[in-house]
Amino acid sequence: MIKETEDFYPSRTGNEETILPRIDPIVYGNVQPGIEYSLTLPQMENYQENGFIVLPDYMPEWVNPLQKEIESLRSLMAGREELITEPESNELRTVFKPFAFSHIIDQFSRHPKILTIARQLLGSDVYITQSRINIKPAFTGKSFPWHSDFETWHVEDGMPRMRAVTAWIMLNENNEYNGPLYVIPGSHKEYVSCAGVTGSRNYDQSLKKQEAGVPKPETMQRLLKNREIKGVYGNPGTVVFHECNLMHGSPDNISAMPRTLLMFVFNSCENKLVAPFCDQPPRPDYLRNTDSSAIE
């Protein structure tokens, strides 16, 4: 593949780590009066300012059916490369591309309560560039260090610009004890160009324990100078939309309750992937969906 666009967000190029300005908009669409499920102006301003929005108890009726479906996928997909396990305990950690194996998950991803907002924020038709079920098992689920998803998707998958949003539903209660998402509100307005280079098949390692694309402590101190960490908590059925460049991490799950969530990354159809911005071949299809036709 040929690099089709200029690299506006270089990272892991062997240079020193630095913070670059974001050059892309955050919200691409507009308020849509009369359109069911669309975000209000205050909600859009909240997303613009903080980089995420939480919709408490938004789709609770989906929790039980999705939990049951995940149980089925465990056996249905056993042995496939889309399944990722915990580094130490071999427990199920992630299922990639679940919509390709499940009718109900596919239906959920197209639900107007999800799709309307994804299209509104990105101001265009959208497609799913990545999807996964994340399970952080009770007691043994491990932490994930601070990172921007966009940094990885840009470098390793060739996502050219910041015009993607992750939508995810809590399938358990998410609280401070079961390894919740920690975010840094406002961090999506800056871009950390990381040190290092991307190794061959980095994803084999990074899906279990991320190292490349993790900012150094000094950089994190700078990002946190006028900002604070915030935990994202809620009941089962709560839905969160977070911007692709929002800095986030996640602590160990030290509780007796697993933390399971289903997520979809919506990318704008005007931001389709090009060749990766590193010297490695593209990641497999289950990490970097090659079908970029607009979702109906």
Contact positions toward a copy of itself, by CB under 8 A?
138-140, 143, 145-146, 176-177, 182, 217, 220-221, 224, 229, 231, 249, 251-252, 254-256
Instruction: Give the nearer residue to a copy of itself in terms of CB position, either 88 or 296.
Output: 88
- Mapped onto helix, strand or coil, the DSSP state of residue 37 is coil
To the nearest whole angstrom, how small is the minimum distance from the Cβ of residue 278 to a copy of itself?
Answer: 25
Query: What secondary structure does DSSP assign to 103-131, as a single string?
Result: HHHHHHHT-HHHHHHHHHHHTS-EEEEEE
Instruction: Give the nearer residue to a copy of itself in terms of CB position, either 226 or 293.
Output: 226
Instruction: Give the nearer residue to a copy of itself in terms of CB position, either 72 or 221.
Output: 221
First vs last C-alpha separation in the chain: 28
Q: What's the helix, strand, coil split of the chain in %, to 5?
A: 25, 25, 50
Q: Give the Cα-Cα-Cα angle 102, 103, 109 (nearest 5 degrees).
A: 95
Distance of CA 261 to the CA centre of its chain: 11
To the nearest whole angstrom, how small is the minimum distance from the Cβ of residue 231 to a copy of itself?
Answer: 6
Asked if residues 152 and 191 have their Cβ atoms less than 8 Å apart, the reply is no
To the nearest whole angstrom, how small is the minimum distance from the Cβ of residue 225 to a copy of itself?
Answer: 9
Q: Shortest CA distance to 246 belongs to which of 33, 29, 48, 11?
A: 48
Instruction: Give the nearer residue to a copy of itself in terms of CB position, either 47 or 182.
Output: 182
To the nearest whole angstrom, how small is the minimum distance from the Cβ of residue 117 to a copy of itself?
Answer: 28
Instruction: Give the nearer residue to a copy of itself in terms of CB position, either 54 or 229.
Output: 229
- Mapped onto helix, strand or coil, the DSSP state of residue 203 is helix
Asked if residues 253 and 139 have their Cβ atoms less than 8 Å apart, the reply is yes
To the nearest whole angstrom, how small is the minimum distance from the Cβ of residue 226 to a copy of itself?
Answer: 12
- Mapped onto helix, strand or coil, the DSSP state of residue 147 is strand
To the nearest whole angstrom, how small is the minimum distance from the Cβ of residue 253 to a copy of itself?
Answer: 9
Instruction: Give the nearer residue to a copy of itself in terms of CB position, either 102 or 178.
Output: 178
